[in-house]
Amino acid sequence: MTGKIVLFGATGYTGGRTAEAMAARGLRPVLAGRDPARLARLAERLGGFDTARADVTDAASVRALVERGDVLVTTVGPFAQLGGAALAAAVDAGAIYLDSTGEPPFVREVFELQGPAAERSGAALLTAFGNDYVPGVLAGALALRAAGRTGGIPARVDVGYFITGGGKGQPFSRGTLESLIGVATRSVYAFRDGALRTEPAGARMRTFDVNGRSLPGVTIGATEQFALPRLAPGLRTVDVYLGWFGPASGAVHATHRLTPLLEKVPALGAGVTGLARLVTRRASDAPSPAVLAASTSHFLAEVFDAGGTLLARTRLVAPEAYAITADLLAWGAGRAAEHGVRGTGALDPVAAFGLDELVAGAAEAGIVERP
């Protein structure tokens, strides 16, 4: 099978890098968006791609571009505000869908609400198919496989996301900052006691050994809470820790108690979000190239038995986050367009491609295992 690839968001930072990564692989996506002139300039620079005028927030507009077996890729966020129409269009078409979100509420919507509809239509939904949260799923799957070889029975998996190096300068794009703000005032989720449970972001904090340094991380909802219990049905706990906040992790953890209040008083939550977005307007669209070039990403997974004994530990390292996202989306879209994916509904990357195939694809994106 060979379906066409449609990419939304190519005139933005993450989408532009994804388009470049696709071009480097010899893929020829249709670049879709609301600004034909900007799309035409980009398409010409990348080698003469086709373009299409469409509105990613209008399901009918998106649906007109995709059919069964096509691959729809979108990097347009914040996804909680702008992602629903493209998702609905992919489900209706029976298409293969990939996005770059890192927003837990949107991830949960894909798995719990849109997944069953996608199963009925024959669509396959691969949300958060980038730095958030493919590497953590991969690290967790590899650690679970290693734990199985020890003869122990996995009960808990902890996954950690960390960035080292970088230096002074803006480490994230404006779009990433806006997405983080959207998450900060909403509840997310955890997998505890064998079930998915709602809780605020940052509810727990722990440290990980990252290259000999003890670095803190705070809990976040991710794809791992859906993916890893599928691989090991006996798991009781899956926790994902985000270590991007460094010394400020303690403050993030301390303020998680405010989330229920912000949700109970919508005007208060809206005020906090609005104030934070005023701050992000001063940020540039793109992160600092020097900061990215000096950054290294680390993804750790630790598997424990019911008594707390460590059974296995996996560490993956990779370049900076935006390179990871662009290369993973390009690899996943190309693989899906040519060979399809395994199954329908809301899929995690291991279920969609198989663990060994995902290891190979991640290596092409620079994500490799280290002791």
Per-residue pLDDT of the chain (371 residues; tens, 9 = 90+): 578 999 999 999 999 999 999 999 999 999 999 999 999 999 999 999 999 999 999 999 999 999 999 999 999 988 999 999 999 999 999 999 999 999 999 999 999 999 999 999 999 999 999 999 999 999 999 999 999 999 999 999 999 999 998 777 777 777 776 666 656 566 899 999 999 999 988 899 999 999 899 999 999 999 999 999 999 999 999 999 999 887 877 777 777 666 665 555 565 455 545 545 555 566 677 788 888 888 999 999 999 999 999 999 999 999 989 999 999 999 999 999 999 999 999 999 999 999 999 999 999 999 999 98
Q: Please indicate, yes or no, whether residues 38 and 54 belong to a single structural domain of this protein.
A: yes
What's 51's domain CATH number? 3.40.50.720
Number of structural domains found in the chain: 2
Across 129-281, the runs of DSSP E, i.e. the strands, are: 156-165, 187-192, 195-200, 205-210, 213-219, 237-242
Domain housing 253: 134-320
What's 288's domain CATH number? 3.30.360.10
Which residues, in sequence order, are bridge partners of residue 324?
none
Q: Please indicate, yes or no, whether residues 209 and 294 belong to a single structural domain of this protein.
A: yes
Q: Please indicate, yes or no, whether residues 123 and 224 belong to a single structural domain of this protein.
A: no
Q: Please indicate, yes or no, whether residues 204 and 186 belong to a single structural domain of this protein.
A: yes
Q: Please indicate, yes or no, whether residues 114 and 143 belong to a single structural domain of this protein.
A: no
Q: Please indicate, yes or no, whether residues 313 and 366 belong to a single structural domain of this protein.
A: no
Contact between 367 and 135 (Cβ < 8 Å): yes
Q: Please indicate, yes or no, whether residues 82 and 230 belong to a single structural domain of this protein.
A: no
Q: What is the pTM of this model?
A: 0.92
Q: Please indicate, yes or no, whether residues 173 and 238 belong to a single structural domain of this protein.
A: yes
Distance CA 324, CA 318 (A): 7
Query: Which residue in 55, 52, 3 sits closest to 32, CA to CA?
Result: 52
Q: Two tokens at 90?
A: 């992919």
Q: Please indicate, yes or no, whether residues 304 and 250 belong to a single structural domain of this protein.
A: yes
Q: Which helix (H) or strand (E) holds 359?
A: helix 355-364
Q: Please indicate, yes or no, whether residues 335 and 278 belong to a single structural domain of this protein.
A: no
Domain final residue, candidates 320, 338, 354: 320
